[in-house]
């Protein structure tokens, strides 16, 4: 088992990464916190597969538990589902020191994490990440929240978990499309500041997908990268914004698609957004075209989309995308901030990007001939 430490002073915690960790969940919890009662929050898909083993693991450690099950998908990151979850935590008389176990992908992690942050002004949170995306990104770092019609993750809190478990064995049941989407966030770490990792991914991507040792290594390196950035800048006052590479465009596309999973899911938005951020960097004179082409080639080889025109039913307008971009949380004094790139592994924070240059770029991209549809296998 490997363990990555997230160093945040009194809010420090470990991220455990290995196959077959779930049977020992209760023991790992009991070793780190006063664990008497817990609420397992999960979605219907993950619950069907892993609720029973998690329940057994908690019972082995003499932790009583209740369960709260939500519908799978982005729509559960809503005020309505949040209210339901919080009310169920209260109805079950869970106390502030009791534990919320977020069992699932990023949707469950963000929703349950936010419920834990606000219920009784902060319960204890354990993330049991079951999607690739959750294992390499969303379960680590304490961003929690929900979406609103105005945009993605616009209501939330920074609230760190006390323990994160990434049981890599559960990825065997993850649908391929979800695995590909999670891979976009893995590639992101290479593109931000680790050209060697990106080159390693170019070499090893087939093995990461087929579940060989390279998969575990990709997950560990990703978690270590995220832990380093979060430890340096917990509340995104500076360098943490780099983790948003691809997200300004990606979130706008998710919102413009009304979070409809038949059109786009988060990791696909990030893939398109990262490819766009590199093309925009070329247009702005920061980046060589060869680097942007290399990014597109790698994402496409992983079966990910790289152009918004390949989103089913695309037909976006520049103005609707600009409206969503204006809601981005990196906007400061009304000015747009983008994460751009000078080359592979050389992302940087570009403040005060002129809106007209973004508009012109979006208009060009929308006029481009539709890209081939991405791989859509379930």
Ligand X SMILES: O=C(O)C(=O)C[C@@H](O)[C@H](O)[C@H](O)COP(=O)(O)O
* Residues labelled catalytic: 121, 143, 185, 226, 236, 240, 244, 247, 251, 266
HSE toward the beta carbon, residue 140, CA cutoff 13 A: 35
Residue closer to ligand X by CB (options 86, 155) is 155
Other CB atoms within a 10 A radius of the CB of residue 180 amount to 25
Whether residue 152 is annotated as binding a ligand: the answer is yes
Q: Please, are residues 119 and 167 in contact by the beta-carbon 8 Å criterion?
A: no
CA distance 123 to 312: 41
List all residues 6 or more positions away from 16 whose beta carbon is below 8 Å from its beta carbon.
Answer: 1, 2, 3, 28, 163, 164, 165, 166
Instruction: Pick from 4, 6, 15, 46 the residue near ligand NAD by CB under 6 A.
Output: 46
DSSP 146-198: EEETTEEEEEEEE---SEEEEEGGGGGGS-HHHHHHHHHHHHHHHHHH-HHHH
Check binding of 49 to ligand NAD (CB under 6 A). Answer: yes
Residue closer to ligand NAD by CB (options 292, 304) is 304
Stretch that binds ligand X, among 40-48, 124-132, 176-184, 242-250 (CB under 6 A): 242-250
Token couple for 67: 């369960």
Residue closer to ligand X by CB (options 185, 268) is 185
Q: Look at strands 124-129 and 163-167 and give their pairing.
A: parallel
Q: What letter does residue 343 receive in the DSSP assignment?
A: S
CA distance 193 to 83: 39
Count residues near ligand X (CB under 6 A). 12
The CB-of-233 to ligand X minimum distance in angstroms stands at 9
Token couple for 258: 């009304």
The CB-of-240 to ligand X minimum distance in angstroms stands at 5
Residue position matching structure tokens 């069992």: 103
Whether residue 98 is annotated as binding a ligand: the answer is no
Q: Which does 329 bind (CB under 5 to 8 A by kind): ligand X, ligand NAD, none?
A: ligand X
Token couple for 326: 């204006």
Whether residue 15 is annotated as binding a ligand: the answer is no
The residue number whose beta carbon is nearest to ligand NAD equals 106
Residue 189 sits at the vertex; the CA angle it makes with 180 and 288, to the nearest 5 degrees, is: 100
In terms of Cβ atoms closer than 10 Å to its own Cβ (0-12, 13-18, 19+), residue 116 is buried
Contacts with ligand X in 36-95 (CB under 6 A)? none
Instruction: Pick from 45, 160, 205, 244 the residue near ligand X by CB under 6 A.
Output: 244
Check binding of 324 to ligand NAD (CB under 6 A). Answer: no
- Fill in the per-residue mask, 56 to 95: x = in contact with ligand NAD (CB under 6 A), - = not in contact: ----------------xxx--x------------------
Contacts with ligand X in 153-212 (CB under 6 A)? 153, 185
Residue 94 sits at the vertex; the CA angle it makes with 89 and 98, to the nearest 5 degrees, is: 115
Whether residue 131 is annotated as binding a ligand: the answer is yes
- Fill in the per-residue mask, 103 to 142: x = in contact with ligand NAD (CB under 6 A), - = not in contact: -xxxxx-x-------------------xx-xx--xx--x-
Stretch that binds ligand NAD, among 44-52, 115-123, 342-350, 364-372 (CB under 6 A): 44-52
Q: Per residue, what are the HEC states of 264-297? A: CCHHHHHHHHHHHHHHHHHHCCCCCHHHHHHHHH
Other CB atoms within a 10 A radius of the CB of residue 99 amount to 24
Q: Which residues bind ligand X (CB under 6 A)?
A: 137, 141, 143, 152-153, 185, 236, 240, 243-244, 247, 329
Q: Which residues bind ligand NAD (CB under 6 A)?
A: 43, 45-46, 49, 72-74, 77, 104-108, 110, 130-131, 133-134, 137-138, 141, 143, 153, 170, 173-174, 178, 181-182, 266-267
Where is the binding site, in residues?
106-110, 130-131, 143, 152, 185, 247, 266
């Amino acid at each position: 088992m490997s363990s990555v430490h997230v160093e945040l002073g009194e809010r420090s915690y470990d991220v455990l990464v290995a196959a077959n960790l779930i049977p020992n969940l209760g023991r790992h919890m009991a070793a780190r916190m006063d664990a008497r009662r817990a609420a397992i929050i999960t979605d219907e898909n993950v619950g069907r597969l892993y609720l029973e083993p998690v329940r057994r693991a908690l019972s082995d450690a003499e932790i009583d538990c209740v369960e709260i099950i939500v519908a799978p998908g982005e729509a559960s990151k809503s005020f309505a589902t949040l209210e339901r979850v919080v009310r169920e935590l209260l109805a079950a008389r869970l106390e502030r020191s009791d534990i919320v176990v977020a069992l699932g992908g990023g949707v469950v992690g963000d929703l349950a994490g936010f419920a834990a942050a606000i219920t009784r002004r902060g319960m204890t949170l354990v993330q049991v990440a079951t999607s690739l995306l959750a294992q390499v990104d969303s379960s680590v770092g304490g961003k929690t929240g929900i979406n609103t019609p105005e945009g993605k993750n616009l209501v939330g809190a920074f609230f760190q978990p006390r323990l994160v478990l990434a049981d890599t064995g559960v990825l065997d049941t993850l649908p391929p499309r979800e695995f590909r989407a999670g891979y976009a966030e893995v590639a992101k770490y290479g593109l931000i500041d680790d050209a060697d990792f990106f080159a390693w991914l170019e070499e090893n991507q087939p093995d990461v997908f087929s579940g060989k040792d390279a998969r575990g290594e990709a997950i560990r390196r990703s978690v270590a990268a995220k832990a380093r950035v979060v430890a340096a800048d917990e509340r995104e006052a500076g360098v943490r914004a780099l983790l948003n590479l691809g997200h300004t465009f990606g979130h706008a596309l998710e919102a413009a698609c009304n979070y409809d999973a038949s059109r786009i899911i988060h990791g696909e938005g990030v893939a398109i957004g990262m490819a766009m951020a590199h093309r925009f960097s070329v247009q702005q004179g920061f980046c060589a075209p060869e680097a942007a082409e290399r990014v597109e080639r790698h994402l496409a080889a992983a079966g990910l989309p790289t152009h918004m025109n390949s989103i089913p039913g695309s037909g976006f307008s520049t103005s609707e995308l600009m409206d969503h971009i204006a809601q981005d949380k990196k906007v400061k004094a009304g000015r747009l901030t983008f994460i751009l790139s000078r080359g592979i592994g050389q992302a940087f924070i570009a403040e005060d990007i002129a809106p007209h240059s973004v508009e012109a770029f979006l208009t060009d991209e929308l006029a481009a001939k539709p890209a081939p549809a991405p791989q859509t296998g379930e």
